[in-house]
Structure 1
Amino acid sequence: MGPGNRPLDLEWLEDFLALAETGNFSRAAEARAIAQPAFSRHIRALEDWVGVELFDRSAHPAALTPAGRRFLPLLEAVLANLEAARIKARAAHDIAAASLRFAATHVLSLTFFPRWLAGVEARLRLGPIQTMSDSSHACEDLMLQRRVQFVLCHGHAEVPGRLDEAQYPMHQISDDVLLPVSAPAPDGPQPLHAMGQADAVPVLAYSEASGLGRIMRSRMRGVFSDTPDATPALPGGVAVVFTAHHAVLLKTMAQEGRGVAWLPQSLIADELRSGALVVAGGEEWNVPVEIRLYRQRAEMAPVAEALWELTAAAAGRVL
């Protein structure tokens, strides 16, 4: 095994510095609190690793060879950088431990989360906050990988997700409803596309990665598949003409008259008031959903535990 392949023990580097400072094997070994024979073996092992002698043992006191003098400042720089790396890593860990890390679905990060967070901050000093916005499936991944402390998403009691199956603690912190909506017809406030029309209804659907899509496929099995269900029958059926996992994108497509989309009321309240979108079906087509906050199962930082206790006290109502 050549010198470059030998394992290196960091203790040897500290031994080298002690001997370079004292020039005496006995005093250096004493300073390092090890027996002199073991200390001498460490110095020899380091020289074997480097591939050259670092000390002139014939001199009294022991002196650095030209190779040793070149090695010394470089080694001091390496050890200083290692110590700096250790300090910075610990500082980064402390900052992360003191911060709150949320994953929120796209739609809730744009609508519900800022308002809810403001209510929490009025009651609790939170400190640094990190938020990641993604699809429901990606948010679940972040929780399962322990990269976030909390996940904010929509849910339904009869449609369990992966976090439910893994028994992650959850609070319902508000509620919402998916409404079938369409752009208005050119000649009035009636929907351009409506559930129950004679022709097939063009539907703007959620993708597989969307939690809202998972809920819709479960609650509307009789509409979007051949599986019998209690959902109302459609004379002309439906035709899925567009698919995405962003509710905001489906909202834009609905406003452009491309079809009917089931969108969270929290997302389209302004559009419903202004008439930019109109409800495209009766109440039997509405899908009630919950706004949920999931947490890690293990104990979290004190500020995260305090937030969870606050949401427990306010579960079921918006802070």
Structure 2
Amino acid sequence: MDLNWLRDFECLARTLNFTRASDERNITQSAFSRRIKALESWVGLPLVNRATYPVQLTDAGQQFLPVALGAISQLSESRQSLRDADRGDSRFIRFSVLHTISVNFLAARIEELQLQIPELRTRVVSDSLSTCCELLVEGAVDVLLCYYHHSVSPVIEEAAFARKDLLTERLIPVAAAEPVRAKGWNLARQDGPPIPYLAYERSSFLGMVVETTVGRQPLNAETIYVDGLVETIKRRLMTGSGFAWMPETAISAELAEGALVPIGDDAWCATLTIAALSNPANFDQTTQKLWELL
């Protein structure tokens, strides 16, 4: 059984609405429904009556809810106790971070910070946006790094945390230089064969940014590949398979070398902010120093 199943069930029991619950959990409604059905298969009984509106918990669901809440709490507390014990004399500062930010920003930044803070020890958890936010809310990590965009923000009660904006970058449409030259790929063109499009999962943060901003413009493109990871899509880009929207930090070297080139002007770009969130009230001296220098 997956801990996410229990968190999904708690969210559905609170909202009594599959659409609202899936939005809050930051996954598609179909994926959310599959996870609820998987939990019901594990329990062996229906937990939700889908024939009513709003949906209601069955008798079995009502009985299982306090069990699920207790399991979530106990597992979270046990995980934190194990992590605290693992820290020993050298306390590790823990980050939860989107995978692409970890690869293209945080790793180099931590290396720089260790020159200024020799005693710095860090542990990084790279995961989905919803999981990264949950880890911060639960107190399982000290700092969350994520993207912000004016139309898409993390699902988190931001007022409870301190926020520090670290970097602003663009999300730009790019493709390998060779097919761009050979086939004339340009998003401004509405004629000719559709441009092969390497897209993000709509439930991912970057997928939502593209969907709600630049992706609403008329687009002569055909989606041929969908993935949630920037690095995986980047590999397809480098082979000339199509075009994709990429954060500049993820492709700075390839842009400088000319291996990747933009295929749209500023109207096709979006602006992203890499931000850090934390609860400074829980900081020790080393974490406070890191936060000030971050």
Short-chain TM bin: 0.5 to 0.7
Unaligned runs of 5+ in 1: 1-87, 224-232, 312-319
**1:185 Cα deviation after fit:** 3.3
**1:120 Cα deviation after fit:** 2.2
Residue 152 of structure 2, aligned match among 159, 163, 170 = 159
| 1:78 corresponds to | none
Matched ranges for 1:1-319 at <5 A: 92=85, 95=88, 98-163=91-156, 165=158, 167-186=160-179, 189=181, 193-197=185-189, 198=191, 199-220=193-214, 222-223=216-217, 233-234=218-219, 236=220, 238-296=221-279, 298-311=281-294
- CA–CA separation in structure 1 for the residues paired with 2:170 and 2:187: 17
Q: Is this contact kept in 1: 2:147–2:275, CA < 8 A?
A: yes
Q: Report the CA distance shift for 1:190/1:126 in structure 2 as closer, same or farther (over 3 A).
A: farther
Superposed CA RMSD? 2.8
- Deviations 1:104-161 (CA, angstroms, capped at 9, x unpaired): 2111211211221123223334432111122333322322332111112222234221
Q: Is this contact kept in 2: 1:137–1:211, CA < 8 A?
A: no
TM-score by length of 2: 0.63
| 2:53 corresponds to | none
TM-score by length of 1: 0.58
Q: Report the CA distance shift for 1:250/1:93 in structure 2 as closer, same or farther (over 3 A).
A: closer
| AA partner of residue 220 (structure 1) | V
Which structure's CA Rg is the greater one? 1
> Quick one: percent identity of the two aligned structures?
25
- CA–CA separation in structure 2 for the residues paired with 1:193 and 1:164: 42
- CA–CA separation in structure 1 for the residues paired with 2:290 and 2:161: 16
| Equivalent pairs, count | 212
Q: Is this contact kept in 2: 1:184–1:191, CA < 8 A?
A: no
- CA–CA separation in structure 2 for the residues paired with 1:277 and 1:213: 20
Unaligned runs of 5+ in 2: 1-80
